[in-house]
Amino acid sequence: MTEKAGFQQNHHQPWPIFWTRAHDARLAGRLLLWRDQNDRVCSEGVYGMPDHKKFGDDRVFSQIHVTRPERLSGAWTSITSNWCSGKNYYHWLLDGLSRLCVRDLLPEKPGILVPAGMGNFAKETLELLGLDS
């Protein structure tokens, strides 16, 4: 699909698949950008990837937290990022849902954080996968 789309994204594919366990991770902004205790970010979720010079373009770097963070107990994983808003079919399939391919291999089944305001096709794919709850 990436080759046929003609956006030349296939020139830096395939992306490696990895998962990490992070205790007390913070997910910031509407895109739930992963940040650690030292304010480092998981760069794949930042706008402008793979061009690292565009980190400053992501609104999460200018946000001020004025509300208390919501604590979630247990294990969680996120399929939310700038590219996986659930409104772009291509990115939903290739960048969002692909994050779930390691879910069955994890020691504990995590809950899944999904984008707010997803399109109907995104909701339907989660239903088809039995993950709509």
Cβ atoms of 57 and 50 within 8 Å: the answer is no
Q: What is the pLDDT of residues 62-106, one digit of tens each?
A: 666 666 778 888 888 888 876 677 788 888 887 788 888 888 888
The alpha-carbon radius of gyration of the chain (Å, integer) is: 15
For residue 72, the model assigns a pLDDT of 87
pLDDT at position 14 over 80: no
**Binning pLDDT at 50, 70 and 90, where does residue 128 land?**
very high
114: left (phi over 0), alpha (psi -120 to 50) or beta: beta
Model pLDDT, residue 51 = 52
Percent of the chain residues past pLDDT 70, beyond the cut: 71
Q: Dig out the tokens for 41 from the structure.
A: 């970010």
Minimal CA–CA distance to 121: which of 94, 95, 86, 91?
Answer: 86
**Range with the poorest average pLDDT among 4-18, 43-57, 63-77, 111-125:** 43-57
> Hey, which residues does 27 pair with through a beta bridge?
34
Q: Bigger pLDDT: 45 or 8?
A: 8
**Residue 89, CA distances (Å) to 79, 95, 98 in order:** 14, 10, 13
